[in-house]
A and B are shown apart, each in its own frame.
Chain A
Amino acid sequence: MSNAPLVQIEGLYKAYGQHLVLRNINLTVANHEVICLIGASGCGKSTLLRCVNLLEPIQAGQIMLDGACITGPGVNEDRVRQEVGMVFQSFNLFPHMTVLENITLAPCKTRGVGRQQAEREARELLARFGLEEKANEYPDRLSGGQQQRVAIIRALAMEPRLLLLDEVTSALDPEMVGEVLEIIAELKGLGMTMILATHQMGFAYQIADRVAFLDSGSIVEIGPARELLTHPREARTRDFLQRVLVATPAGGDDAPVGVSGAT
C-alpha cells in the first residue's frame, strides 16, 4: 500500500478558547511529497503543523498517518511523534547538552538504541551535513544557521517518516538562510516527505510539489507550486503574493521571488 497517502487530514477544526484558528482543513500528503504552506503571519500554518505533531489538541476532524487515525482516543502520542519529526523556527536545541547529546537523546531514550550506536549514527549525519567538527560544542557556540542544521539533524536521527518544518529560516540572518535551505533541498532529493510552513516564496517554488495558501485558518487554494505561485486562481492568493513580491526584490527569470530574499 505504498501508494496510499502518508498523511490525510480531514475536516480539521482547531480553536484556542473561543477563537477559531483552523477551520475545515482537508489535506492529503503522498509519500515523498513536499508541501509548502504559505500565508500571512497568523493564518494558521504553524498551528496546523503543531496539530499534525499532536502538540495541539484539535476540536473536530481527524488526522490519519499511514491510514491509522492519530487524533482519536487511545493513541500513543509519543509513538506517533517518534515517526513525525518537527523543526522549529527558534531551533529549540537543548542548551545544556552538546550537539551530539542533543541528537542522541531521543534515539537512546525512546528507541533503546545503544549509546555507541546512536553516537556513530549521529556523527555520520553530522558529517553528511558538514558539521562533524561541532559534535562536542554546546549550542550557544554555534551560529544560527548551524543551530538550525543541528535541529534538523536531531529530527532526522529518529528516522521520521514525515518531517514538519515550521518557518525554519525566519529567525536566521539572511546570509545563513541558504545553508539551511540546502539541507532541506537535499532531504527532498532523498525522498523525505515534508510539510513546510514558509515565507520563502522562491524556495517554495523550487522545492514544493504542491503549495497551499492559507488565510484566516482555511486553505484558500492548493495546487502545483508553479501554477499556484505564478497563476493563482483566487483573488486572496493573488493579493498575498503581490504583497510579498513588492516587499522583496525579484529573483530569477521565472521564479516569483529570490530564494535568499524573503523572510
Chain B
Amino acid sequence: MSTHPTELSPEQLAALLRPTPAWQRRDVQRSALIALVSTLVVFGGLAYVISGSTGWQVVQQAFFSPEHFVAAFPIVLKGFWLNVRIFLIAEPIILLWGLILAIVRSTRSPVLFPLRAAAVAYVDIFRGAPAILVILTLGFGMPALRLPGVPSSPIFWGTLACILTSSAYQSETFRAGIESVHASQRAAARSLGLSSTQAMRYVVLPQAIRTVIPPTLSGFVGLQKETALISVIGPLEATRQAQIYAGMTFNFTSYVVAGVLFIAITIPLARFTDYLLQRTAQRRQMGGAV
C-alpha cells in the first residue's frame, strides 16, 4: 500500500505502463551475457579437449570426413525415405489402435471383461518387450512359417512390429488422458440422458485427446527413431544403407549422415510439442475454472 498522496498524471501513468523492450532490460542483458560466456566455456573446453586428444585425427577422418559425407548423403537419404514412409503408414494405425485399446481398458461392463483382460495382456507384453526383439521375432519368424497368403516382406513385418510396440505405449497415453477427465464430467453427461458410449465420445474423449497431444507428439519422435531398428532384419533404410556404405569404404561418416537426417526430422516435431505445451500452460494460468 502506497501512502503517497499525489496521483500520477496520465503521462506518468502511460510511461509506467509502457513495456520496456525485453532486450533493453538490464536483467535480460545480464542473463544473455552469462549464457554466452558459459556456452563458450563449456563447448570451447570440450572442443579443446577432444581435438587435443591423440586419436582425434583418426576419429575425424573416420566419422567427419567431408568427402564421405557428400558421397554417402544421397545413398543414406534414399534409405531415409523408407523410414519416413514406414513412419507415415505406421503412425495413423498406432493412433487408432492405441485409442481402441485405451477405450477397451476404460470400459466397466462385466460382459467386456475378456476384452479388457486381452488389452491388459497386450499392453503388458508389447510395452515390456524390447522393440528389437519383436522386430527380430516377427521379421525372421513369420516368413519362416511359410503360411500361404502371409507376406514375407521384412518391411511389412518390421512395420507391424513397430505398430505393435508403439501402440502399446500410445494406448497408455490415451488411457492416462481418459482418466484425467474428472468423473463429474461423465456424471454431467449421463445426467442429461447420454448413454455411456455417447458420454465417452462427446464429452470424455475430446478432452482426453486434447490433454495428451504433447506426449503423443513425443511418441511420434520415438517411432521415427524406432524405424531405424528395422535394419536388423534387412530392409534398406537409412541405418542399413549407412552400414553398407561403411562396410564398403571403411569410413563411418555415413552413420553421422543418418544421425543428422533423423535429428533434422525430429527437431520440428520437438519444437511444435514445446509450443503446444507452452500454450497449454498459458491457458491454465489464464482460466483456472473447470
Give me the interface of A with B, judged by CB distance under 8 Å.
50, 53, 55, 78-79, 81-86, 88, 90-96, 105-106, 109-110, 139-141, 144, 147, 151, 154-155, 158
Contact = CB atoms under 8 A, between A and B. Distances in A.
Contacts of B187: 50, 55, 88, 92
Given A81-B191, A82-B193, A96-B207, A105 B290 contact: no
Nearest to A90: B184
Given A94-B185, A140-B287, A141-B287, A55 B190 contact: yes
A13 B248 CA distance: 81
B264 interface: no
B195 A93 contact: no
Nearest to A81: B193
Contacts of A144: 289
Chain B CB within 10 A, most for which of A86, A109, A141: A109
Contacts of A88: 184, 187-188, 191
B108 to A, nearest CB: 12
B276 to A, nearest CB: 16
Contact of A110 (B188, B192, B287): B192
Contact of A139 (B192, B210, B290): B290
Contact of A91 (B192, B288, B290): B290
Contacts of B290: 90-93, 95, 139-140, 147
Nearest to B201: A109
Contacts of A79: 193
A144 B290 CA distance: 10
B202 A105 contact: yes
A139 B288 CA distance: 11
Nearest to B195: A78
A151 B210 CA distance: 23
B66 interface: no
Q: Which of A50, A95, A139 has the most CB of B within 10 A?
A: A95
8 contacts: A85-B191, A88-B191, A94-B207, A106-B193, A109-B202, A144-B289, A154-B192, A155-B192
B97 to A, nearest CB: 24
A7 to B, nearest CB: 16
B137 interface: no
Interface string B193-210: 111001000110011001
Contacts of B203: 94, 105
A84 B198 CA distance: 18
Contacts of B195: 78
A155 B193 CA distance: 10
A78 B191 contact: no
A233 to B, nearest CB: 34
Given A105-B202, A140-B287, A95 B194 contact: no
